[in-house]
Structure 1
Amino acid sequence: MNRRNTVPTVLLGIAWVAPFSAWSDTLLEREGYRPLVADQRAYRPGDNLTVLITENATASTTATTTTN
């Protein structure tokens, strides 16, 4: 392509792409958005819960015997 054909081609390309770049929409709903990495409490049915159970146990062995 020579320079005379390149300029109109570039301008036509910019004119074709410009309307698409000006139009945008959100992928997330603001009302229902909850980030995956935030520490938020489960408050809706179906929310996942993580339950941590910690158990501490101690035992000892002592015995005394007496004889008469």
Structure 2
Amino acid sequence: MPIIFAQAIMFLPALVAGKVSDSEAAQGVAAAFTDIFGFWYNLVFALLIIVFTYFYTAITVPTNKMADDLKT
């Protein structure tokens, strides 16, 4: 699940930079986020996967119930 969310978010910078392609910075961002083998693409993608994994685990794992189960 976290990989799906991260991949969906990774489309946004290239989409926004493509719409605002008048500046050189926007073209650089679009180029960086369309190259799936590039450093910045992979760095941001890995960070998003880690963040979404933490968030998804925090929502789905019932820590209070696990603590109560371990007590007995």
Instruction: State whether TM-score is above 0.5.
Output: no
Query: Which one has a bigger Cα radius of gyration?
Result: 1
Q: Given the two structures, how large is their TM-score scaled by the length of structure 1?
A: 0.32
Q: Which structure's residues are more often helix, by fraction?
A: 2
Q: Given the two structures, how large is their TM-score scaled by the length of structure 2?
A: 0.30
